[in-house]
Amino acid sequence: MNYATIKNCDIANGPGVRVSLFVSGCTHRCPGCFNEVAWDFNYGEPFTQETIDYILSLLKPGYIKGLTLLGGEPFEPQNQKGVVELLRQVKKQYPEKSIWAFSGYLFDRDMLSGKLGDLTEYLSYLDVLVDGPFVEAKKNLSLRFRGSENQRLIDIPQSLKSGNIVLWED
Ligand code: SF4
């Protein structure tokens, strides 16, 4: 996996001050995409254990509320191994910090169906998933933590527990 950017002080992609990782590679090609350069899986830098160590160090301060995954597409099959290894280490070291992820795939249609492979471990680390592609016709600048009205903020632990989609509430 390659990654495009790591932000150490992100207040736009989840609650509180967060570290965010923008992975490279996305096959959705949404018109109006905010980050077109990251469609290329070879864009940016290789994601290594050194990168994970760097992210772990950025997460250390008490004011950092958690980690957010964006792209690109963090759920593309070729990106899953690197992301899961990162989440495994983050959860081990910082179990109290929240994990958010943004995806152009749908939780029920694509993730629970097995279309993207076995996501059991991946989903077990997530607190909130913002799912669905960015749709320009449904763009709404007043929405919190999402760009278009079709996107959902899903409470993953509650959804997995209940078997229904439970939306996240602040
Ligand atoms: S899913 Fe995200 S990164 Fe991929 S094309 Fe759509 S808006 Fe861009």
**Over the stretch 42-54, which tens digit does the pLDDT of each residue have?**
999 999 999 999 9
**CA–CA distance, 12 with 9 (Å, rounded to integer):** 9
DSSP label at residue 36: G
DSSP label at residue 68: E
Over residues 107-122, mean pLDDT: 97
| Ligand 1 mean position, distance from CA 104 (Å) | 6
Q: Cβ atoms within 10 A of the Cβ of 166, count?
A: 15
How confident is the model at residue 33, as a pLDDT? 86
Q: Cβ < 6 Å from ligand 1: which residues?
A: 26, 28-30, 33-35, 71-73, 104, 133-134
* Phi and psi torsions of 112, nearest 5°: -80, -20
- Going by CA atoms, what residue is nearest to atom 3 of ligand 1? 72
**CA–CA distance, 80 with 1 (Å, rounded to integer):** 8
**CA–CA distance, 64 with 81 (Å, rounded to integer):** 25
- Residue pair 136/32 in contact (Cβ under 8 Å)? The answer is yes
Longest dimension (CA), the chain: 41
Percent over 70 (pLDDT), the chain = 100
Tokens of 124: 């077990």
pTM (two decimals)? 0.95
- Give, in order, the Cα–Cα distances in Å from 73 to each of 16, 60, 95, 169: 23, 25, 24, 24
Greater confidence, 34 or 140?
140
How does the average pLDDT of the chain come out, rounded?
96
Report the nearest atom of ligand 1 relative to the CA of 72: 3
- In the predicted model, is pLDDT for residue 30 greater than 90? no
Confidence category of residue 27, pLDDT binned at 50, 70, 90: very high
- In the predicted model, is pLDDT for residue 18 greater than 90? yes
How confident is the model at residue 127, as a pLDDT? 98
- Going by CA atoms, what residue is nearest to atom 6 of ligand 1? 30
How confident is the model at residue 150, as a pLDDT? 96
| Ligand 1 mean position, distance from CA 63 (Å) | 29
| Ligand 1 mean position, distance from CA 10 (Å) | 19
| Ligand 1 mean position, distance from CA 116 (Å) | 16
| Ligand 1 mean position, distance from CA 61 (Å) | 30
Tokens of 80: 């899953």
How confident is the model at residue 31, as a pLDDT? 87
Over residues 78-106, mean pLDDT: 98
